[in-house]
Every structure is written in structure tokens, then in C-alpha cells.
Amino acid sequence: FVSENIFAYNSGTEHAQAQRVKFFNRQAEQGRLGQAAYVTRDYNRFLSRDANAIGLNTDEVLNMYDYFQGTTHVLRQEQPLRLLSQIPVDKYHIVGHGPNYSTLEDAGRVVARINVMPATIGLVNDITYYDRTDNVTARENFDWRGFKSSVDYFHPDGRLAVQKFLNLSGETVLEVTHMNINGQLLPSMYKLINYLGHDYRFNTEEQLFLFFLNEITRQQPDTTLISDRRGLDHIVAGVQGTTHKFAYLHDIHTGDTKHPVRGKLYPAYINVLERYGEAFTAILVPTLAQQRDLQTRYPRLTIKVAPDVVIDEQTLAQPRVTLSERQSHQLLYVGRLSPEKRPEQALRVLARVVKDVPDATLVYYGYAATQEMMHDLQELATRLQVADHVTFGGYVPSTDLQKAYQQAQVILQTSIGEGLGMNLVEAMGNGVPSISFDVPYGAHALIEDGVNGYIVPDGSNLAMAQKVSELLLDDDEWTQMSVAAYDKAQAFAESKMATIWQQVLN
């Protein structure tokens, strides 16, 4: 499953992809699906940490840079800066400047600055070296796992000149040259050094990534690729070493949600649907409705449905959480705080709800796309006089999110559209009724109006607030909807999803 990266703060796409990797590998043990890996392009010194945070182990992640550096299966070994063997402590002095950095000094002159890795005590993150006029000359970058991974070399004006990526022996295996192109300092050449006895040169990272994908599929010819990020579709389409390639569309394809068949495509979808679509065995989408719209719009393409959310058997088997065990009158918003998600609508709903349910609260879980977005939400909460009823919980691990679902009474979906809605599926798996605006596609696939939640007119926070209040004030209705939510979640059990994915991939 091909993507760009795994981040400290991931979107639903990364979470869905990671969940699918784990799901496939559990099913592979039973002989139902093939083994899977989360394949990434971007250089990330913290990839091991970030992958572990979303439940992926070393065997389930394959990064292009790690592959060429020969570091794909290196276990973590902490590297304290004061025990770094490359520093000749008999000649230089390490001078501490608090918890975040130390300097390496020679007769009072600062030779280098050693920065501590974030969220650690005294572990090396990077070492920046200076010449006698205090110009930066080089920076050595350390991987989270404790080894020196790359070295950056700088021009006298402080701009990046060359990046060298190292193997565990400290030898350069990949070199990236940066040059001034139309007034911008950009990578101009990627040189792969002594790879299987040959040197290779590429103009762009995309060309290098295509070479990498061709290599891993050459070594395993029966590999199936699924492109999970729109920025990589054209690269996956060009891979020659495998027969089957798919592209998974995690989201809606147009902002014109009233006219999904003829509405203007989001630019990111042009490659997969209009330029390279026929290079894929099939385009995969989460719902039948999106399949119908895209098949009507692009009759020459093969569009298949494969819901990209799975609820593991352990979650489905856990005791159902009753109303008395939950936080009274708590609303939940789960997702990125960004304009297309319209998180401010949840605040407007809350402001109306507290008039009927004075102790109602709202908890947000998700990272803010910008600081401005977070500031605007906090300011709106104050203006609507509900600041005391709102908690911004930030981005949390899945274990914390699981507890949040089990505390909540209602989850709100305020987006302009959703491919499916992992948040709603996970909420249903914990018995939480959903209330969503009437938008494509996920709400209609997941919510049976009046049974396990409500669908209200798009943009009407009044209508949403009325349904929220009704549900919070009627314990019997809430209990019935909670049971229906739990029941709906059974449709996403691993055994059922495995059957669907078998049919799609065959």
C-alpha cells in the first residue's frame, strides 16, 4: 500500500492505510489475504517512532530511503550525546545549555551544536558544525533508532548544497545535489551509489521512487500495489514490475457535492481518473454511491467498492457500554480541524443544545490544520458563550480515542463530504449514535436515519441541534439507537471485510 509518509499527526488516510495493513496481515495468517506492507517515499528519521505509534511493526513498513540505506530492520538503540564515539572528548569539551542542546567547544570556540532529540533526555538529534567565522558547514542527522542517517552540507551563505544518506557503516549510498533553479534552491540530482554494483542518476525524487517501486516488484513479481495518495498515482501507474495496480480513493472527488457526476474534479484527482486511470486494474472507493457516480462519469474505468474501515473482532466482542456508564450529555467531534470539515458547525450546534440541555459538553479530538483555525474556534466558543462546555483534546492515540468513544453519547459529523467516515464507524463500534449533515457519501452508507442516528439538512445547525437535544433528553430513544449502532458495526467485522477484499483483488 503506497503512500508518502507516516507522520506524528496523521490524517484519516494514513490511519486507514495502517489499519488495512494490520487487517491484511492478520488475515494472511489464516490464508485469506496476502501479506501487506505500508510503503513510503519520504525521508523520515522518525519513521520507526511514528509507525509504532499507529501500531505498525518493522516488518509492516518499507521506506524507500531505508531500503537503499540498508536500515529497514534496524532495532532502536538509544544514542546519548555524551556517549557518542565520534566526539573526541579528550580534545573537545561538551558544554550543556539546558535540556535541549549542548555545544562542543575547543579553547572556548564553539565547534558544533548538538541538539537533543525531541521528547527524549540527552539523545542525539543532530549535530551542526561551524567554521572559524561561525558559518554552518555541515549537519549530521540521527535516526530515532540511534544511528547517523544523513549529512547535510551547506554553501557559505548557509543554503543547503548536498545531502548524503548513509548506510550503517557510514558510507554514502545516496547523494542529493541542490542547485539554484529559477531563483529557488531545489534538488537537481539524485545519485544512487553502488546499488547492486551500479550507480544511477535521477532528476527528481519521483523518478527515484519509480525506480524503487520497480525494484521491489521485480524482486516479488506477484506483488499488488495500491496507491493511497493522489500525489503518487502517476508514479504507481508507471510501475512495470507488477500486473495488478489499484488506486484507493479515500475521499470525495469533487467539492460540488450537489453534482458529483459532472462537478469540477479536485485537481488531485485528475491524474487517477482522467490521465492514468486505465493503467490501474481498478479504482477502489468506499461506497456504492460513489462507485455509481464515478462509473457514470468514467465508463471506461473499472470502479470497485471496498470499505476501507475494519473493526477488529476484539472490539466487536467487548461488553456494550450502557448510558449510565457514559459521560452524561457529552458530544464528540473526531477529525482534523480544517475548513472542509467545518468544525465550527459543531460549536454552533452546541450553543443551541445547551439552551435545552444546560450540562451538555463537546469534546474535539484531532489536530488543527493551522494555528489560525484553532484560534478561530476558541474565539467562536467564547463568542457563543460555550467555552466552559468545550474541550479541545488534540490528537490522541487510538487507545485514548477508544475510551473517548465509550464516554460519548453522540458523535457529530459536519464535513462538506466524506468518502466513508472512519470516525463514524469506530463510534458505532462503541455504540455511539451519529448525527450528520446530508452530504455524500459516508453518512448515507452508515447512518440509517432514525435508527442508529440522524441525517439532517446540510448546513442546518438548527436541525442538527434539535436532533441532538432530542436524543440527549430521551434515554429510551438513545438506548435503542446505541443498540442499532452496535449492530451496524457488525457489517465491518474482519471476516466480512476479508470476503469483500478477496472478491475485489481477484
Residue type, 304: K
How would residue 181 be classed by pLDDT, with cut points 50, 70 and 90? confident
Q: How confident is residue 356, by pLDDT bands cut at 50, 70 and 90?
A: very high
Residue 213 makes CB contacts below 8 A (sequence gap 6+) with 2, 39, 225, 235, 236, 239, 241
pLDDT at position 87, please?
A: 84
Q: Which helix (H) or strand (E) holds 3?
A: strand 2-3
Q: Is the pLDDT of residue 90 over 80?
A: no
- Identify the pLDDT of residue 184: 86
Prediction pTM value: 0.95
Percent of the chain with pLDDT over 90: 93
pLDDT of 135: 94
- In whole angstroms, give the CA distance from residue 133 to residue 366: 45
Split at pLDDT 50, 70, 90, the class of 340 is very high
At 65, give phi and psi (nearest 5°). -70, -45
Q: No. of H helices and E strands in the chain?
A: 16, 23
Strands 184-195 and 109-116: unpaired
* DSSP string across 439-503: -SBHHHHH--BTTTEEEE-TT-HHHHHHHHHHHHH-HHHHHHHHHHHHHHHGGGBHHHHHHHHHH
pLDDT digits (tens, 9 = 90+) for 411-439: 999 999 999 999 999 999 999 999 999 99
Could you please report the per-residue DSSP string of 108-136? TEEEEEEEEPTTSSSBEEEEEEE-TT--E
SS3 180: strand
